[in-house]
Structure 1
């Protein structure tokens, strides 16, 4: 009866998608465990306990509305790690167990995202939740994948790519005059070890890259819905583009997850598999109907004149709209945080784990891992209001040498006793030329631009943040 719903030719696609999504979940939970004490813990910059006191469950559904202690946060994180590992072997489970395991993963991670505040306001969080929700209904390897879920994964990939292409074309003029990559590799949030190489590629090649990007994001997504092998070719083009982006910068797991979605469009020789059980098929069709209804909001957003990026239209993070880099900054500014025991100095600099600081330090590769404080510091350099809810608390933590917050940094220049003063300045950064790198060994040239936060003591920060 349900043979029309079966798509055994996507058995390989299901294997790739489910195992890669389980890997991204694992990265997300490990990232949470390593960073939540300084960001969301009871002594963190924006404690979950305070958040759930003022934000009701209906606005931010989360397990942390029931308990929000640090032990409970750690327990949810470790539970996510264990279930992510179990998901790698879930193909052996019966259909009902598959559903429960993947649904539990989604509940655990959505509980984190919904109370994660500014640290979890990135598009790849909603993308992971929406992808993870759809994987619930792919089913284990011993039944045929439902074709409608494969279509929904392709529709999600379409929104990711086409939404990003539209926001670029409608946004910054540098995407239309093909000069965006004259700046982007140098000014992106977290450069990687090869970003400087990409920045100094010949400018005509940069224009070719932009044209290729427009084609990949504005034309290729439509081919995902063409008969095979066209859809597979389209998916391979998207995968190649994502690998190029992985080499050029650190974008957390956005590129890995987009690559994962592209695998959903790749078909192989069909294998003999039983059709999904009737109750499961009915459930899959109900979910499909839900996503058909939810499609109204992202479609309206993409077709409207005031398109927005990375917006969830509901508390469940389903049927979202996506997009990235609708505007490109032309000059890179970095927040440099320093401490001292005397107003006349010497001032010693705090080093972050990945964001540019010491000009001699080569940008590291961290993606698909995500360092949330470093990303937010990039936004603060663009507009200080991005740090309004947590930057005073961060500076106060430095003046107290609070271990949870200092663990988010690469280097504390005051290991024995905290400084009496801290300040934050804005510096302009640019990549060194080949000659400058050869002569100085530095990857960056920086110059002081302006004050951001004047020298402050603990007394100055009393009652702030």
Structure 2
């Protein structure tokens, strides 16, 4: 079938696959380095406790067969190794069937992690990586040219990512319709980056242009992905430029990067390579069957997009094969931060020697400039932002965090930038307070070097100590 493959996209496929393998590598590395404190047997939300109440059919995962921290670590590091092998191009030298299986390995491993990750993995880019990763397994290797239907479905994902995000904004916060959301967003986004202060201080008319350009990129340009070349390449290129602007303005884990990866698949890059031999019949049958399944499952996100009650970042099946996406349907006008402190004093008075814990990514010390972490995902820092929005977001894990700080738990402290207490002297009490954070102006930045100013709002959690009954073996 001559229509089945697209020889002109051989180089596009190669770049897409290597870039996707890089995103997989970051995702598995994040899991390997953070899971013990978050999800381990002694973590804040232990996986064994979750597996005891959630059946396999609701959350398919290898960990339903067996769980231990050592086994989780083995899965995460195996995912790193396979991702690195794919990044190096191992799949190109394998038979077509073996390359397909190899690409399914990181998908299955990461699905197993996401489906037991609970609150820590409740982000849209987790499902997006799984959806893209599953489809990428059927894109083929050097034995065959890229299948047209898989390339089309990759564009379909990119369309839903961008168009869904555009719809949720237009239907959501009125500031998007007034083109004023970016007067606040750079200051109140979950995790600012090193340039976010400067983005916030751009003139008001520039912010309005940013917002208008966002609407064009998300509501108009995605339609052009399905037009003939070179218009589709131009549309994808514009999306890449927009995503790079977002990369520069904040820390959004790998959301921007995997969107860029998707756009790479729509580029028609010159390669000078001659067409490969025709694909085997079994491969054509598998690809068409997978495509038919994904097209059928797509009716749910389509219905969601046309609904007035559109939801964002929702998975419609336990395998995360087809999902709906979106971001910042509403934009906070004020930034709040939860500041965690501890003391060695016997009595937790207000004038006690309270010492502040420093997190890696979220704002804390007003003089400490934000760093660039994305595409690496600081899960605890992100959840601390949600906790500041509403304590309800932290009901299931914040108490566990405070308990582990009282113990000087080594795995938990590794998630932080700095603990104010030596390893052999844990605090007697910890507390949490809510502060309002604002960016400083140019003059204050020059005079003090502080990028933030903060003011106390209220108590978030009163001083708490570790009782004998609460001590863990």
Q: Deviations over 1:170-220 (max 9, x none)?
A: 000110000000000000000000000000000100000000000000000
- 2:447 counterpart residue number: 439
Q: Distance in 2 between matches of 1:158 and 1:460?
A: 55
- 1:24 counterpart residue number: 23
Mean CA deviation greater in 258-267 or 144-153: 258-267
Query: Could you say what secondary structure the match of 1:330 adopts?
Result: coil
Residue 161 of structure 1, CA deviation: 0.1
Residue 81 of structure 1, CA deviation: 0.9
Q: Distance in 1 between matches of 2:268 and 2:169?
A: 31
The TM-score normalised by the length of structure 1 is 0.98
Match of 2:291 among 288, 309, 333: 288
- 2:5 counterpart residue number: 6
1:445-464 paired onto structure 2 within 5 Å: 445-459=453-467, 462=470
User: Is 1:420–2:428 an aligned residue pair?
Assistant: yes
Tell me if the contact between 1:43 and 1:404 (Cα under 8 Å) persists in the aligned partners: no
Tell me if the contact between 1:146 and 1:276 (Cα under 8 Å) persists in the aligned partners: no
- Two-structure CA RMSD over aligned residues (Å): 1.3
Mean CA deviation greater in 398-407 or 245-254: 398-407
Q: Distance in 2 between matches of 1:201 and 1:18?
A: 37
Residue 460 of structure 1, CA deviation: 9.6
Residue 142 of structure 1, CA deviation: 2.8
Q: Distance in 1 between matches of 2:68 and 2:241?
A: 43
Q: Distance in 1 between matches of 2:326 and 2:279?
A: 34
Query: Could you say what secondary structure the match of 1:451 adopts?
Result: strand
Q: Distance in 1 between matches of 2:469 and 2:163?
A: 45
Residue 461 of structure 1, CA deviation: 8.6
- 1:350 counterpart residue number: 357
- 1:144 counterpart residue number: 145
Mean CA deviation greater in 337-346 or 171-180: 337-346
Query: Could you say what secondary structure the match of 2:269 adopts?
Result: coil
1:370-449 paired onto structure 2 within 5 Å: 370-415=377-422, 416-449=424-457
- 2:219 counterpart residue number: 218
Query: Could you say what secondary structure the match of 1:334 adopts?
Result: strand
Residue 233 of structure 1, CA deviation: 0.4
Query: Could you say what secondary structure the match of 1:134 adopts?
Result: helix
- 1:193 counterpart residue number: 194
- 1:361 counterpart residue number: 368
The 1:423/1:109 distance shift into structure 2, 3 A limit, reads same
Q: Distance in 2 between matches of 1:153 and 1:147?
A: 10
Q: Distance in 2 between matches of 1:19 and 1:284?
A: 21
- Unaligned segments of structure 1, at least 5 residues: none
Q: Distance in 2 between matches of 1:275 and 1:460?
A: 70
Q: Distance in 1 between matches of 2:80 and 2:427?
A: 37
Query: Could you say what secondary structure the match of 2:323 adopts?
Result: coil
Q: Deviations over 1:201-242 (max 9, x none)?
A: 001000000000000000000000001111000000000000
Mean CA deviation greater in 91-100 or 212-221: 91-100
Mean CA deviation greater in 322-331 or 39-48: 39-48
Residue 141 of structure 1, CA deviation: 2.2
Query: Could you say what secondary structure the match of 2:324 adopts?
Result: coil
Q: Distance in 2 between matches of 1:268 and 1:199?
A: 36
Q: Deviations over 1:17-64 (max 9, x none)?
A: 111110010000100011011111111111111111111111110001
May I ask how many residue pairs the two structures share in their alignment? 463
Q: Deviations over 1:277-309 (max 9, x none)?
A: 110011000011001101100000000010000
Query: Could you say what secondary structure the match of 1:10 adopts?
Result: helix
Q: Distance in 2 between matches of 1:299 and 1:461?
A: 51
Match of 2:280 among 263, 277, 280: 277
User: Is 1:326–2:329 an aligned residue pair?
Assistant: yes
Segments of 4+ in structure 1 off by > 4 A? none
The 1:461/1:328 distance shift into structure 2, 3 A limit, reads farther
- Unaligned segments of structure 2, at least 5 residues: none
- 1:60 counterpart residue number: 59
The TM-score normalised by the length of structure 2 is 0.96
